């Protein structure tokens, strides 16, 4: 093959994958100490990384830009971190953050992937997958106050691992056949797991600990709940409603 033919083949390949290099822009700004990130209607893909005291670097992946650039570092972030991904199949990975106030993430429409790894949230955590089939992973994250994790509509896959929740904890699967896996977590205040409509599956275990009252609600259609090495403090009220299959 001559080099001219090779060049022609590469041009053809690029022509057939126009979306791969057009993954939109995320607008970022700091207002009164709060970092606000807003995705557009394209499939955005970003990393949000704590890189120093009150300093957060946001990096675009797969062609996504931040304020028109490949990456941007935001200083003096000592309030909330709020991320709205907008329409499109978005992906966000949040790592090594110390959030002074709330961490709020919304996938909005589209099949979104939301990943948290190794963060401290000193106030509330709120994650909402939104309308599409979302994947939410919370790993090695410590929340000092209340948490709400919601899949929203359609089938959502949620895995919460190796994390501490000091305040009230609420999980809502919403409509659709959802899957929730909780492993090696500590829930220090009251917890509610509500799977919503759909045939939902839930595994809670691998050393997961509940220090206060907890309620598991399959909530309609055919739901399964499996416990494997789950611990409850003495005197804790455990309510289990509306599961067709339950094992421990
Ligand atoms: Ca988007
Ligand atoms: Ca989205
Ligand atoms: Ca959803
Ligand atoms: Ca559901």
Closest of 195, 190, 171 to residue 233, by C-alpha = 190
The bound ligand whose nearest atom lies closest to the alpha carbon of 131 is 3
pLDDT digits (tens, 9 = 90+) for 6-33: 444 444 444 444 444 448 999 999 999 9
Ligand 4 centroid vs 144 CA: distance in angstroms?
A: 27
Ligand 2 centroid vs 84 CA: distance in angstroms?
A: 8
Closest of 179, 173, 220, 176 to residue 192, by C-alpha = 173
220 falls in which pLDDT band (50, 70, 90)?
A: confident
- Please compute the mean of the pLDDT values over residues 68-83 and round it to a whole number: 98
Ligand 3 centroid vs 50 CA: distance in angstroms?
A: 27
Ligand 4 centroid vs 202 CA: distance in angstroms?
A: 10
What are the Cα distances from residue 220, in Å, to 175, 194, 216? Answer: 10, 10, 12
Compute the distance between CA of residue 99 and CA of residue 223 in angstroms, rounded to an integer: 35
Ligand 2 centroid vs 29 CA: distance in angstroms?
A: 19
Compute the mean pLDDT over every residue in the chain, rounded to the nearest whole number.
92
pLDDT digits (tens, 9 = 90+) for 100-151: 999 999 999 999 999 999 999 999 999 999 999 999 999 999 999 999 999 9
**Is pLDDT of 41 > 80?**
yes
Place of tokens 């093959």: 1
Structure confidence at residue 19 (pLDDT): 44
Global pTM?
0.91
**Is pLDDT of 187 > 80?**
yes
Ligand 1 centroid vs 126 CA: distance in angstroms?
A: 18
């Amino acid at each position: 093959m001559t080099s001219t033919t090779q060049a022609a083949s590469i041009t053809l390949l690029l022509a057939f994958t126009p979306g791969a290099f057009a993954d939109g822009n995320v607008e970022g700004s700091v207002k009164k100490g709060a970092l606000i990130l807003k995705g557009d209607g394209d499939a955005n893909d970003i990393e949000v990384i704590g890189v120093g005291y009150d300093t957060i670097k946001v990096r675009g992946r797969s062609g996504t830009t931040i304020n028109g650039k490949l990456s941007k570092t935001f200083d003096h972030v000592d309030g909330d971190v709020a991320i709205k991904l907008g329409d499109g199949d978005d992906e966000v990975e949040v790592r090594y953050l110390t959030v002074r106030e709330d961490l709020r993430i919304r996938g909005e429409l589209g099949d979104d992937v939301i990943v948290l790894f190794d963060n401290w949230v000193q106030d509330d955590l709120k994650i909402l997958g939104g309308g599409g089939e979302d994947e939410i992973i919370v790993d090695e994250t410590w929340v000092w106050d209340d948490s709400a994790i919601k899949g929203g509509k359609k089938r959502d896959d949620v895995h919460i691992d190796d994390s501490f929740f000091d305040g009230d904890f609420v999980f809502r699967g919403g409509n659709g056949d959802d899957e929730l896996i909780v492993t090696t977590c500590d829930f220090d205040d009251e917890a509610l797991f509500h799977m919503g409509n759909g045939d939902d599956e839930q595994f809670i275990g691998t050393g997961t600990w509940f220090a206060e009252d907890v309620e598991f609600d399959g909530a309609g259609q055919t739901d399964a709940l499996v416990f494997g090495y789950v611990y409850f403090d003495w005197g804790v009220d455990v309510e289990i409603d509306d599961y067709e299959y339950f094992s421990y």
